[in-house]
Amino acid sequence: MQFSGEGYIIKIRKHGEQSAIVTLICPHKGKIIGYVKGALNKRGLGVFQIGNYISFNAYARVEENMLSLHGVELVHSHAADFVLNEDKIEALVSLCRLLDECVAQNDDLGSFFGAVDDFFRHINDDNWLAYYSFFEFYLLDFLGIGLDINECAVTGKHTDLLYVSPKTGRAVCAEVGAPYKDKLFAYPQYIAEKNYRPQHKEITDVLAMTGSFLQKNFLAQHNLQLPENRVNLLKFGKMYKL
């Protein structure tokens, strides 16, 4: 089996003195894992960094074997986009950890890859954290536990939506949710409108909501926890301003 492709590096594990086992998220192949001989030598150090986008050729003698990656070329270096910003590093590590833990090998990512790609493409924009929040929202959908925010779960109304139920993940209108507002999540209006310039509190509210659903409906079932970096992101989100 052999093929060529491109993808973001989300994990690097040293193997031997200078080689590595590398995990990638690819637009057409999903998550793949491959062995790269000499990845950590002097030439490879600038290429094999978390977040970098590379091209490669992949080969395995039989489908069950681990891929061998060769002919690797750096397409876009993102390492410098993160290195001087601690908050962006937290987001990068969180995104990579969640992808590694939540996405199975060779799963078809479909449109979800676009949310990953958007995060990296906009990391130097002042609203980069909004793109991270969209990533988590669409990760829930990819995992089959997406939130239903199109209509009120009780009345069926498509307007005046103000809350999301922490139990069902469904939207609740203002009238129905008012008596329980302290127990409900805030409605993610900017997500529904695909507005990438929300207020800082809106982002904080969405991160609180997506983190809760990821933990309860996926991570806990696999004996996993939200990455520590992800917890730090929520602390940062409280200070984030656009």
pLDDT digits (tens, 9 = 90+) for 62-85: 777 799 999 999 999 998 889 888
In 3D space, the residue among 183, 191, 224 whose CA is nearest the CA of residue 207 turns out to be 191
Same domain membership, residue 106 and residue 60 = no
Q: Is the pTM of this model over 0.85?
A: yes
Quote the DSSP letter at residue 105.
Answer: B
Same domain membership, residue 18 and residue 108 = no
Is residue 104 in some structural domain?
yes
∠78-116-224 over CA atoms, to 5°? 105
pLDDT tens digit string along 9-39? 999 999 988 999 999 999 999 999 999 999 9
Length, in residues, of the chain: 242
Domain of residue 43, CATH code? 2.40.50.140
Is residue 242 in some structural domain?
no
Q: 132 pLDDT exceeds 80?
A: yes
Q: Domain range spanning residue 65?
A: 2-77
Is residue 64 in some structural domain?
yes
Number of domains in the chain: 2
pLDDT tens digit string along 147-189? 999 999 999 999 999 999 999 999 999 999 999 999 999 999 9
Is residue 156 in some structural domain?
no
| Domain stop point among 29, 50, 77 | 77
Task: Determine the Cα–Cα distance for residues 196 and 120; give it in Å rounded to an integer.
Answer: 14
Same domain membership, residue 140 and residue 100 = yes
Is residue 159 in some structural domain?
no
Query: Among all chains, which residue has been given the structure tokens 């239903």?
Result: 148
Is residue 174 in some structural domain?
no
| Domain stop point among 54, 77, 100 | 77
Task: Determine the Cα–Cα distance for residues 89 and 97; give it in Å rounded to an integer.
Answer: 12
Task: Determine the Cα–Cα distance for residues 181 and 140; give it in Å rounded to an integer.
Answer: 23
Task: Determine the Cα–Cα distance for residues 16 and 9; give it in Å rounded to an integer.
Answer: 19
